[in-house]
């Protein structure tokens, strides 16, 4: 049983590293890790964090790459890689250009695709762009769908995916985050006493331009309003993000602009932060593991489980709205406590085991993919109330 695993970006590595480890523990199964290099530097950083080395590195990133150009190069190069390795199955994760183009390459070659983190949906095919379209199109072609939550399963069923091809596993990012949380706790990391810290991340295409300027303006106002608050902002290397952030915040007191952090350092910042402002999907899933409230810098989220659990809130990209929401959490301890739940609504740390268990049953022709009692069921108590 040879399984190819495709990665192109840092989030794909983070979320597939637990799966790769689980796959490599199965006797008689061979895992072939194929890297597209969609985001070269951040991909390499994540691979190093998890001590992973690609078996094939397509190294496709070019300066100022366009979506059509990147898509065509991934499709062509991945077709060649799969033709040479002839896997029994291709595993992809999430909603990147690597995911869509790799899935299409496998489809052309008659190789079944297993989609990790399947079923996420927003109400707008262009938000987030192009990720929403990528994941919807991938669902059409995938043979096996690993939904992180019951909500995601329901969206797949709405799209007429057969129930026997879906397993609810929890999100593998919680597997990864829990490992780093335990290491953080063993190290006796600094507490949140003293200066309070806001973690900010922002990179989505739909926020480039005015949205990003508004977010930076909100950061400036927050540090002016709260003298005990500092901001840590790891800035994405894309010039559409890096340039405007440096121009707007480069000289702002108590705002630390950092290069992208490796995963261990990012998890440490999440653990220390009083709250996080982000347009990242992954951080919406990771932050509840550390009890850190999330303000989502987007107009909608395809991860409504966090909002339903009370641990996240969508605030958009308007400066006033961001400042109001953050100031409420910084001013009122009860408001902050109301966004801290007892556990993570996205997973319990066993998602990778469930995925590989389901693949074992799928390869043997057994259905359902997971037996009763094996699927992920969140155990999230209501957030603390005033």
Query: What are the residue numbers of the active site?
Result: 95, 117, 131, 203, 205, 236
Closest Cα to residue 199, out of 147, 267, 117, 143?
267
Q: Do residues 317 and 214 make contact, with C-beta atoms less than 8 angstroms apart?
A: yes
Q: Do residues 349 and 178 make contact, with C-beta atoms less than 8 angstroms apart?
A: yes
Alpha helices in 50-171 (DSSP H): 67-85, 97-109, 131-141, 150-158
Q: Give the Cα separation of 57 and 175 in Å (integer).
A: 25
Q: Give the Cα separation of 17 and 201 in Å (integer).
A: 22
207 DSSP assignment? G
Q: Do residues 128 and 94 make contact, with C-beta atoms less than 8 angstroms apart?
A: no
Q: Give the Cα separation of 205 and 203 in Å (integer).
A: 6
Q: Give the Cα separation of 14 and 241 in Å (integer).
A: 22
Q: Give the Cα separation of 38 and 71 in Å (integer).
A: 10
Q: Give the Cα separation of 319 and 153 in Å (integer).
A: 35
């Amino acid at each position: 049983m040879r399984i190819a695993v495709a990665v192109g970006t840092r989030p794909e590595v983070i979320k597939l590293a637990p799966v790769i480890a689980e796959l490599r523990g199965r006797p008689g199964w061979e895992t072939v890790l194929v890297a597209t290099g969609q985001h070269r530097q951040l991909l390499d950083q994540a691979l190093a964090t998890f001590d992973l080395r690609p078996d094939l590195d397509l190294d496709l990133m070019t300066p100022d790459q366009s979506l059509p150009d990147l898509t065509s190069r991934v499709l062509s190069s991945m077709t060649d890689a799969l033709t040479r390795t002839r896997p029994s199955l291709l595993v992809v994760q999430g909603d990147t250009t690597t995911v869509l183009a790799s899935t299409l390459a496998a489809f052309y070659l008659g190789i079944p695709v297993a989609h990790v983190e399947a079923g996420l949906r927003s109400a707008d095919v262009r938000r987030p762009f192009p990720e929403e379209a990528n994941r919807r199109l991938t669902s059409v072609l995938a043979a096996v769908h690993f939904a992180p939550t019951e909500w995601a399963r329901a969206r797949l069923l709405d799209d007429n995916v057969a129930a026997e091809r879906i397993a609810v596993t929890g999100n593998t990012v919680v597997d990864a985050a829990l490992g780093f949380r335990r290491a953080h706790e063993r190290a006796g990391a600094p507490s949140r006493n003293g200066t309070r810290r806001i973690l900010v991340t922002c990179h989505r295409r739909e926020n480039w331009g005015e949205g990003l300027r508004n977010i930076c303006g909100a950061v400036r106002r927050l540090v002016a309003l709260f003298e005990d608050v500092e901001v840590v902002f790891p800035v994405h290397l894309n010039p559409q993000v890096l340039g405007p952030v440096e121009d707007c915040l480069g000289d702002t007191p108590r705002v630390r602009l950092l290069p992208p952090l490796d995963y261990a350092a990012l998890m440490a910042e999440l653990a220390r932060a009083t709250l996080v402002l982000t347009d990242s999907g992954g951080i919406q899933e990771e932050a509840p593991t550390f009890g850190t409230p999330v303000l989502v810098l987007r107009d909608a989220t395809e991860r409504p489980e966090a909002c339903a659990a009370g641990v996240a809130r969508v605030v958009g990209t308007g400066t006033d709205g961001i400042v109001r929401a953050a100031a409420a959490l910084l001013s009122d301890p009860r408001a902050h406590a109301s966004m801290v739940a007892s556990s993570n609504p996205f997973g319990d740390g066993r998602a990778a085991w469930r995925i590989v268990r389901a693949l074992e049953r799928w390869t043997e022709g057994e259905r359902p993919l997971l037996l009763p009692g094996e699927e992920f069921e969140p155990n999230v108590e209501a957030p603390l109330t005033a």
